[in-house]
Protein backbone atom coordinates (compact mmCIF):
# COMPACT_ATOMS: atom_id res chain seq x y z
CA UNK A 1 0.00 0.00 0.00
CA UNK A 2 1.05 3.60 -0.57
CA UNK A 3 1.87 5.83 2.36
CA UNK A 4 3.73 9.04 3.21
CA UNK A 5 7.02 8.58 5.04
CA UNK A 6 9.37 11.26 6.31
CA UNK A 7 13.01 10.30 5.78
CA UNK A 8 14.51 13.36 7.40
CA UNK A 9 13.70 17.05 7.80
CA UNK A 10 11.97 18.34 4.70
CA UNK A 11 12.03 14.93 3.05
CA UNK A 12 8.60 13.43 2.44
CA UNK A 13 8.24 10.45 0.14
CA UNK A 14 5.14 8.51 -0.80
CA UNK A 15 6.25 4.92 -1.08
CA UNK A 16 5.18 1.31 -0.65
CA UNK A 17 4.54 0.46 2.98
CA UNK A 18 3.58 -2.89 4.39
CA UNK A 19 -0.23 -3.11 4.39
CA UNK A 20 -1.63 -3.16 7.92
CA UNK A 21 -3.55 -6.16 9.22
CA UNK A 22 -5.52 -6.97 12.34
CA UNK A 23 -3.05 -7.56 15.18
CA UNK A 24 -5.24 -7.36 18.29
CA UNK A 25 -8.85 -8.58 18.47
CA UNK A 26 -9.82 -4.99 19.34
CA UNK A 27 -8.36 -3.57 16.09
CA UNK A 28 -10.20 -2.31 13.04
CA UNK A 29 -8.76 -1.83 9.57
CA UNK A 30 -10.00 1.13 7.60
CA UNK A 31 -9.63 2.24 4.01
CA UNK A 32 -8.67 5.88 4.40
CA UNK A 33 -11.05 8.20 2.51
CA UNK A 34 -9.15 11.32 3.47
CA UNK A 35 -6.13 12.23 5.59
CA UNK A 36 -4.29 15.49 6.03
CA UNK A 37 -1.13 17.28 7.04
CA UNK A 38 -1.15 18.67 10.57
CA UNK A 39 0.58 21.79 11.81
CA UNK A 40 2.33 19.50 14.29
CA UNK A 41 3.75 17.46 11.36
CA UNK A 42 5.71 20.60 10.51
CA UNK A 43 7.84 20.31 13.67
CA UNK A 44 9.67 17.15 12.49
CA UNK A 45 9.55 18.51 8.92
CA UNK A 46 11.59 21.42 10.19
CA UNK A 47 13.85 19.10 12.17
CA UNK A 48 12.64 20.42 15.52
CA UNK A 49 12.61 17.89 18.34
CA UNK A 50 13.83 15.02 16.16
CA UNK A 51 17.00 12.96 16.07
CA UNK A 52 18.77 10.57 13.70
CA UNK A 53 16.96 7.59 15.22
CA UNK A 54 13.53 8.94 14.23
CA UNK A 55 13.75 8.19 10.51
CA UNK A 56 12.04 6.82 8.53
CA UNK A 57 8.81 8.08 10.13
CA UNK A 58 5.40 7.09 8.73
CA UNK A 59 3.27 10.23 8.80
CA UNK A 60 -0.28 11.24 9.60
CA UNK A 61 -2.62 10.98 12.57
CA UNK A 62 -5.87 12.44 11.21
CA UNK A 63 -8.16 10.15 9.30
CA UNK A 64 -11.66 9.26 8.24
CA UNK A 65 -12.63 6.27 6.18
CA UNK A 66 -14.51 3.06 5.63
CA UNK A 67 -14.13 0.07 7.93
CA UNK A 68 -12.88 -2.93 5.97
CA UNK A 69 -12.32 -5.49 8.68
CA UNK A 70 -12.66 -5.74 12.45
CA UNK A 71 -11.09 -7.95 15.10
CA UNK A 72 -13.12 -10.59 16.93
CA UNK A 73 -13.81 -8.39 19.96
CA UNK A 74 -14.94 -5.25 18.14
CA UNK A 75 -18.60 -4.52 18.84
CA UNK A 76 -19.49 -0.93 17.95
CA UNK A 77 -18.24 -0.58 14.37
CA UNK A 78 -18.57 -2.93 11.45
CA UNK A 79 -17.29 -3.28 7.88
CA UNK A 80 -18.85 -0.82 5.46
CA UNK A 81 -19.35 1.94 8.01
CA UNK A 82 -17.75 5.34 7.62
CA UNK A 83 -15.81 6.23 10.76
CA UNK A 84 -13.87 9.08 12.28
CA UNK A 85 -11.31 8.59 15.03
CA UNK A 86 -9.02 10.68 17.16
CA UNK A 87 -5.23 10.91 16.93
CA UNK A 88 -5.02 8.95 20.17
CA UNK A 89 -6.58 5.52 20.18
CA UNK A 90 -8.31 5.09 23.54
CA UNK A 91 -10.31 2.39 25.30
CA UNK A 92 -12.95 4.95 26.34
CA UNK A 93 -13.66 2.84 29.41
CA UNK A 94 -10.86 3.56 31.91
CA UNK A 95 -11.31 6.09 34.68
CA UNK A 96 -9.40 8.79 32.77
CA UNK A 97 -11.47 8.26 29.62
CA UNK A 98 -14.72 8.30 31.58
CA UNK A 99 -13.67 11.64 33.02
CA UNK A 100 -13.38 12.93 29.44
CA UNK A 101 -9.60 12.80 29.02
CA UNK A 102 -9.27 10.08 26.39
CA UNK A 103 -6.01 11.58 25.13
CA UNK A 104 -4.45 10.40 28.40
CA UNK A 105 -6.19 7.00 28.39
CA UNK A 106 -4.23 4.42 30.40
CA UNK A 107 -4.24 2.21 27.27
CA UNK A 108 -3.75 4.96 24.70
CA UNK A 109 -1.93 4.34 21.42
CA UNK A 110 -0.60 7.25 19.31
CA UNK A 111 -2.12 7.01 15.84
CA UNK A 112 0.79 8.99 14.38
CA UNK A 113 3.05 5.98 14.84
CA UNK A 114 0.76 3.99 12.54
CA UNK A 115 0.83 6.56 9.75
CA UNK A 116 -2.62 7.71 8.62
CA UNK A 117 -1.38 9.43 5.44
CA UNK A 118 -1.79 6.11 3.67
CA UNK A 119 -4.30 4.01 1.81
CA UNK A 120 -5.09 1.83 4.81
CA UNK A 121 -4.81 2.19 8.54
CA UNK A 122 -4.97 -0.10 11.56
CA UNK A 123 -6.95 1.49 14.38
CA UNK A 124 -6.30 -0.08 17.79
CA UNK A 125 -9.05 -0.08 20.46
CA UNK A 126 -11.61 0.43 17.71
CA UNK A 127 -14.65 0.44 20.00
CA UNK A 128 -13.23 3.21 22.13
CA UNK A 129 -11.63 5.19 19.33
CA UNK A 130 -13.91 5.23 16.30
CA UNK A 131 -17.28 6.86 15.90
CA UNK A 132 -19.43 5.85 12.92
CA UNK A 133 -21.45 8.38 10.97
CA UNK A 134 -25.19 7.68 10.50
CA UNK A 135 -24.53 6.59 6.91
CA UNK A 136 -21.77 6.82 4.31
CA UNK A 137 -21.45 10.60 3.83
CA UNK A 138 -21.68 12.45 0.55
CA UNK A 139 -18.27 13.59 -0.70
CA UNK A 140 -18.79 17.21 0.31
CA UNK A 141 -19.08 16.23 4.00
CA UNK A 142 -15.82 14.27 4.09
CA UNK A 143 -13.48 17.26 4.66
CA UNK A 144 -15.53 18.42 7.65
CA UNK A 145 -15.66 14.91 9.11
CA UNK A 146 -11.91 14.63 8.67
CA UNK A 147 -11.49 17.97 10.44
CA UNK A 148 -13.30 16.48 13.45
CA UNK A 149 -10.46 13.95 13.78
CA UNK A 150 -8.06 16.57 15.06
CA UNK A 151 -8.18 20.27 14.20
CA UNK A 152 -11.86 20.79 14.98
CA UNK A 153 -11.70 18.60 18.08
CA UNK A 154 -8.54 20.36 19.22
CA UNK A 155 -9.90 23.85 18.63
CA UNK A 156 -13.09 22.78 20.39
CA UNK A 157 -11.15 21.54 23.41
CA UNK A 158 -9.22 24.83 23.46
CA UNK A 159 -12.49 26.74 23.59
CA UNK A 160 -13.97 24.41 26.24
CA UNK A 161 -10.78 24.60 28.34
CA UNK A 162 -10.96 28.39 28.07
CA UNK A 163 -14.60 28.17 29.20
CA UNK A 164 -15.93 30.00 26.15
CA UNK A 165 -19.64 30.58 26.56
CA UNK A 166 -22.52 33.07 26.63
CA UNK A 167 -21.57 36.55 27.74
CA UNK A 168 -17.85 35.86 27.31
CA UNK A 169 -15.23 37.62 25.25
CA UNK A 170 -12.98 34.97 23.74
CA UNK A 171 -9.61 35.74 22.17
CA UNK A 172 -7.84 33.21 19.97
CA UNK A 173 -4.07 33.38 19.61
CA UNK A 174 -3.03 31.59 16.41
CA UNK A 175 -4.61 31.63 12.96
CA UNK A 176 -3.75 28.10 11.86
CA UNK A 177 -6.51 25.56 11.34
CA UNK A 178 -6.84 24.89 15.08
CA UNK A 179 -7.08 28.57 15.96
CA UNK A 180 -9.65 29.19 13.24
CA UNK A 181 -11.73 26.26 14.44
CA UNK A 182 -11.45 27.47 18.03
CA UNK A 183 -13.23 30.56 16.70
CA UNK A 184 -15.94 28.32 15.26
CA UNK A 185 -16.15 26.45 18.57
CA UNK A 186 -16.43 29.65 20.60
CA UNK A 187 -19.28 30.73 18.35
CA UNK A 188 -21.08 27.39 18.79
CA UNK A 189 -20.55 27.58 22.54
CA UNK A 190 -22.35 30.93 22.52
CA UNK A 191 -19.53 33.42 23.11
CA UNK A 192 -20.62 37.02 22.81
CA UNK A 193 -17.46 38.48 21.31
CA UNK A 194 -14.74 36.52 19.52
CA UNK A 195 -11.41 38.09 18.75
CA UNK A 196 -9.21 36.40 16.16
CA UNK A 197 -5.55 37.40 16.28
CA UNK A 198 -4.26 37.24 12.72
CA UNK A 199 -2.36 39.37 10.27
CA UNK A 200 -3.19 37.29 7.19
CA UNK A 201 -6.05 38.52 5.08
CA UNK A 202 -7.31 35.13 3.90
CA UNK A 203 -7.23 33.75 7.44
CA UNK A 204 -8.98 36.81 8.80
CA UNK A 205 -11.73 36.27 6.27
CA UNK A 206 -12.19 32.65 7.30
CA UNK A 207 -12.13 33.64 10.97
CA UNK A 208 -14.99 36.05 10.28
CA UNK A 209 -16.90 33.32 8.43
CA UNK A 210 -16.45 31.09 11.46
CA UNK A 211 -17.79 33.76 13.80
CA UNK A 212 -15.02 36.18 14.76
CA UNK A 213 -16.45 39.60 15.63
CA UNK A 214 -13.09 41.37 15.88
CA UNK A 215 -9.65 40.96 14.34
CA UNK A 216 -6.42 42.02 16.01
CA UNK A 217 -3.27 42.10 13.91
CA UNK A 218 -0.80 43.02 16.64
CA UNK A 219 1.24 40.38 18.39
CA UNK A 220 3.07 40.07 21.69
CA UNK A 221 2.65 42.97 24.11
CA UNK A 222 0.95 45.07 21.44
CA UNK A 223 -1.55 42.24 20.93
CA UNK A 224 -2.20 42.08 24.68
CA UNK A 225 -2.69 45.85 24.79
CA UNK A 226 -5.20 45.63 21.92
CA UNK A 227 -7.23 42.95 23.77
CA UNK A 228 -7.19 45.07 26.93
CA UNK A 229 -8.41 48.05 24.95
CA UNK A 230 -11.32 46.03 23.58
CA UNK A 231 -12.32 44.85 27.03
CA UNK A 232 -12.28 48.03 29.07
CA UNK A 233 -8.76 47.32 30.32
CA UNK A 234 -9.73 43.99 31.89
CA UNK A 235 -8.57 41.37 29.38
CA UNK A 236 -10.59 38.59 27.77
CA UNK A 237 -12.62 36.12 29.83
CA UNK A 238 -11.28 33.27 27.72
CA UNK A 239 -8.14 32.95 25.63
CA UNK A 240 -7.31 30.01 23.40
CA UNK A 241 -3.60 29.51 22.73
CA UNK A 242 -3.17 27.58 19.48
CA UNK A 243 0.46 28.04 18.50
CA UNK A 244 2.81 26.59 21.12
CA UNK A 245 5.55 29.20 21.29
CA UNK A 246 6.81 31.32 24.16
CA UNK A 247 5.38 34.46 22.59
CA UNK A 248 1.93 32.98 22.05
CA UNK A 249 1.74 31.53 25.57
CA UNK A 250 2.80 34.82 27.14
CA UNK A 251 0.31 36.63 24.97
CA UNK A 252 -2.47 34.26 26.04
CA UNK A 253 -1.79 34.50 29.77
CA UNK A 254 -1.32 38.26 29.71
CA UNK A 255 -4.47 38.85 27.66
CA UNK A 256 -6.65 36.93 30.15
CA UNK A 257 -8.47 38.85 32.87
CA UNK A 258 -8.09 37.83 36.51
CA UNK A 259 -10.38 34.87 37.09
CA UNK A 260 -10.43 34.13 33.36
CA UNK A 261 -9.39 30.97 31.57
CA UNK A 262 -6.59 30.06 29.19
CA UNK A 263 -7.10 26.96 27.05
CA UNK A 264 -3.79 25.98 25.46
CA UNK A 265 -3.69 23.46 22.64
CA UNK A 266 -0.62 24.48 20.63
CA UNK A 267 2.00 21.76 21.07
CA UNK A 268 4.45 23.60 23.32
CA UNK A 269 8.00 23.89 22.02
CA UNK A 270 10.51 25.67 24.24
CA UNK A 271 7.79 27.31 26.32
CA UNK A 272 8.58 28.25 29.92
CA UNK A 273 5.94 29.83 32.12
CA UNK A 274 7.21 32.32 34.64
CA UNK A 275 5.84 31.37 38.05
CA UNK A 276 5.49 34.93 39.27
CA UNK A 277 3.73 35.88 36.07
CA UNK A 278 1.28 33.04 36.53
CA UNK A 279 0.86 33.88 40.22
CA UNK A 280 -0.21 37.43 39.52
CA UNK A 281 -2.36 36.52 36.51
CA UNK A 282 -5.06 34.87 38.66
CA UNK A 283 -5.89 32.90 35.52
CA UNK A 284 -7.03 29.30 35.17
CA UNK A 285 -4.67 27.59 32.76
CA UNK A 286 -5.70 24.27 31.25
CA UNK A 287 -4.74 22.45 28.10
CA UNK A 288 -2.71 19.72 26.50
CA UNK A 289 -3.37 17.09 23.84
CA UNK A 290 -7.06 17.41 23.12
CA UNK A 291 -9.33 14.55 24.19
CA UNK A 292 -11.01 14.71 20.79
CA UNK A 293 -12.91 11.48 21.41
CA UNK A 294 -14.95 13.24 24.10
CA UNK A 295 -16.36 15.62 21.50
CA UNK A 296 -16.59 13.39 18.42
CA UNK A 297 -20.24 12.29 18.69
CA UNK A 298 -21.40 15.90 19.13
CA UNK A 299 -19.13 17.24 16.39
CA UNK A 300 -20.17 14.54 13.92
CA UNK A 301 -23.79 15.35 14.67
CA UNK A 302 -23.25 19.09 14.01
CA UNK A 303 -21.45 18.32 10.75
CA UNK A 304 -23.96 15.71 9.64
CA UNK A 305 -26.80 18.19 10.15
CA UNK A 306 -24.78 20.85 8.32
CA UNK A 307 -24.78 23.22 11.26
CA UNK A 308 -21.03 23.73 11.01
CA UNK A 309 -18.64 23.51 8.07
CA UNK A 310 -15.15 23.11 9.54
CA UNK A 311 -13.93 21.53 6.28
CA UNK A 312 -13.45 25.08 4.97
CA UNK A 313 -10.01 25.07 6.63
CA UNK A 314 -8.79 22.76 3.87
CA UNK A 315 -7.73 25.24 1.23
CA UNK A 316 -5.62 22.74 -0.72
CA UNK A 317 -6.59 19.21 -1.66
CA UNK A 318 -4.04 16.88 -3.23
CA UNK A 319 -3.74 13.22 -4.13
CA UNK A 320 -1.73 11.31 -1.52
CA UNK A 321 1.03 10.85 -4.11
CA UNK A 322 1.68 14.61 -3.93
CA UNK A 323 2.01 14.70 -0.14
CA UNK A 324 5.44 16.36 -0.41
CA UNK A 325 3.83 19.34 -2.16
CA UNK A 326 1.27 19.52 0.62
CA UNK A 327 3.95 19.67 3.32
CA UNK A 328 5.80 22.35 1.39
CA UNK A 329 2.64 24.45 1.00
CA UNK A 330 1.88 24.28 4.71
CA UNK A 331 5.48 24.89 5.71
CA UNK A 332 5.55 28.05 3.61
CA UNK A 333 2.09 29.06 4.81
CA UNK A 334 0.76 28.98 1.25
CA UNK A 335 -1.97 26.71 2.57
CA UNK A 336 -3.82 26.69 5.88
CA UNK A 337 -4.45 22.96 5.82
CA UNK A 338 -3.86 20.31 3.19
CA UNK A 339 -6.22 17.42 2.57
CA UNK A 340 -4.73 14.25 1.08
CA UNK A 341 -6.80 11.75 -0.85
CA UNK A 342 -5.36 8.23 -1.13
Q: Give the residue with the Cβ less far from Zn ion, 66 or 94.
A: 94
Which residues, 6+ apart, have CB-to-CB distance to 172 below 8 Å? 158, 179, 180, 182, 183, 186, 194, 195, 196, 197, 207, 212, 239, 240, 242
Q: Is 34 an interacting residue with respect to Zn ion (CB under 5 A)?
A: no
Q: Is 105 an interacting residue with respect to Zn ion (CB under 5 A)?
A: yes
Q: Is 91 an interacting residue with respect to Zn ion (CB under 5 A)?
A: yes
Cβ 340 to Zn ion shortest distance, Å: 29
Q: What is the CA radius of gyration of the chain?
A: 19
Q: Is 1 an interacting residue with respect to Zn ion (CB under 5 A)?
A: no
Binding window for Zn ion (CB under 5 A); candidates: 97-105, 211-219, 240-248, 290-298: 97-105
Binding window for Zn ion (CB under 5 A); candidates: 14-22, 105-113, 301-309, 324-332: 105-113
Residues in the interface with Zn ion (CB under 5 A) total: 5
Cβ 94 to Zn ion shortest distance, Å: 3
Q: Give the residue with the Cβ less far from Zn ion, 57 or 94.
A: 94
Q: Is 94 an interacting residue with respect to Zn ion (CB under 5 A)?
A: yes
The pair phi, psi for residue 164, each rounded to 5°, is -60, 140
Q: Give the residue with the Cβ less far from Zn ion, 97 or 336.
A: 97
Binding window for Zn ion (CB under 5 A); candidates: 29-37, 82-90, 236-244, 250-258: 82-90
Q: Give the residue with the Cβ less far from Zn ion, 102 or 213.
A: 102
Binding window for Zn ion (CB under 5 A); candidates: 31-39, 104-112, 159-167, 183-191: 104-112
Quick one: the chain helix, strand, coil %, rounded to 5? 35, 25, 35
Q: Give the residue with the Cβ less far from Zn ion, 91 or 241.
A: 91
Spatial separation of the C-alpha atoms in residues 269 and 272, rounded to whole Å: 9
Mark out the alpha helices in the chain (DSSP H runs). Answer: 42-45, 95-98, 126-129, 142-149, 151-161, 177-188, 201-210, 220-230, 246-254, 275-281, 292-304, 323-331
Q: Give the residue with the Cβ less far from Zn ion, 94 or 234.
A: 94
Spell out, one character per residue from 221 to 250, where the chain touches Zn ion: x when CB under 5 A holds, - when not.
------------------------------
Q: What sign does the dihedral 160-238-273-46 (CA atoms) show? A: positive
Cβ 149 to Zn ion shortest distance, Å: 18
Cβ 64 to Zn ion shortest distance, Å: 22
* CB 21, CB 7: distance < 8 Å: no
Nearest to 129 by CA among 80, 177, 93, 81: 93
Spell out, one character per residue from 147 to 166, where the chain touches Zn ion: x when CB under 5 A holds, - when not.
--------------------
* CB 171, CB 215: distance < 8 Å: no
Cβ 319 to Zn ion shortest distance, Å: 36
Spatial separation of the C-alpha atoms in residues 276 and 261, rounded to whole Å: 17
Q: Give the residue with the Cβ less far from Zn ion, 108 or 261.
A: 108
Q: Give the residue with the Cβ less far from Zn ion, 100 or 190.
A: 100
Question: If phi over 0 gives left and psi between -120 and 50 gives alpha, with beta otherwise, what is residue 331?
Answer: alpha
Spatial separation of the C-alpha atoms in residues 155 and 49, rounded to whole Å: 23
Binding window for Zn ion (CB under 5 A); candidates: 16-24, 95-103, 213-221, 253-261: 95-103
How would you class 242 by CB atoms within 10 Å of its CB: exposed for 0-12, middle for 13-18, buried for 19 or more? buried
The footprint of Zn ion (CB under 5 A) covers 90-91, 94, 97, 105
Amino acid sequence: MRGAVMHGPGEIRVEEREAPRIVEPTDALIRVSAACVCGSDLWPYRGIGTGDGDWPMPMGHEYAGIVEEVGAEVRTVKPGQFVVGSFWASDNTCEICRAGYQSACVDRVPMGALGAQAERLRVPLADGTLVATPDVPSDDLVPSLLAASDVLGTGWFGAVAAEAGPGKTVAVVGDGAVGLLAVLAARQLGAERIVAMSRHESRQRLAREFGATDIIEERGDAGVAAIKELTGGLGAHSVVEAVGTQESMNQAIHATRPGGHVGFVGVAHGVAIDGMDLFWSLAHVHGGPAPVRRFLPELIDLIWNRQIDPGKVFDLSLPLEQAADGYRAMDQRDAIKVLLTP
